[in-house]
């Protein structure tokens, strides 16, 4: 399945911006901006991730919404 045809694994409708590289449940790897923001606000951010849009959208969400700064890993190819 091509990257542009994939949908968010949680809501099933949003375009994914980030991929969880170490998911607890492999059924939930791709997250749209709204669902990714909700994870961060809930206090359960993705720790090892790959940005899918070529821009650090998820990184900016972490900066804006994450109060507890931990070490996050941007996965490279």
Cα-based torsion angle of the residue sequence 34, 8, 45, 26 in order, rounded to the nearest 10 degrees: 170
Domain holding 31, by residue range, is: 16-69
**Domain presence at residue 52:** yes
Q: Is residue 46 predicted with pLDDT exceeding 80? A: yes
Paired strand residues for 73: 48
Compute the distance between CA of residue 15 and CA of residue 10 in angstroms, rounded to an integer: 11
pLDDT above 90 covers what percent of the chain?
62
Q: Within a domain: residue 33? A: yes
User: Are 66 and 36 within 8 A, CB to CB?
Assistant: no
Which pLDDT value is given to residue 52? 95
29 within some domain: yes
- The token pair that represents 18 in the structure block: 């980030």
Residue 45, in any domain of the structure: yes
In a domain, 32, yes or no: yes
Quick check: 24 pLDDT over 60?
A: yes
Average pLDDT over the chain, rounded to an integer: 86
On whether residue 59 sits in a domain, the answer given is yes
């Amino acid at each position: 399945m091509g990257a542009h045809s994939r949908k968010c694994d949680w809501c099933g409708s949003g375009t994914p911006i980030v991929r969880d590289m170490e998911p607890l449940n492999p059924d939930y790897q791709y997250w749209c901006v709204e669902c990714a923001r909700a994870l961060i606000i809930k206090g359960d951010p993705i720790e090892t991730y790959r940005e899918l849009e070529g821009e650090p959208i998820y990184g900016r969400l972490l900066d804006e919404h994450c109060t507890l700064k931990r070490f996050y890993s941007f996965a490279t190819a």
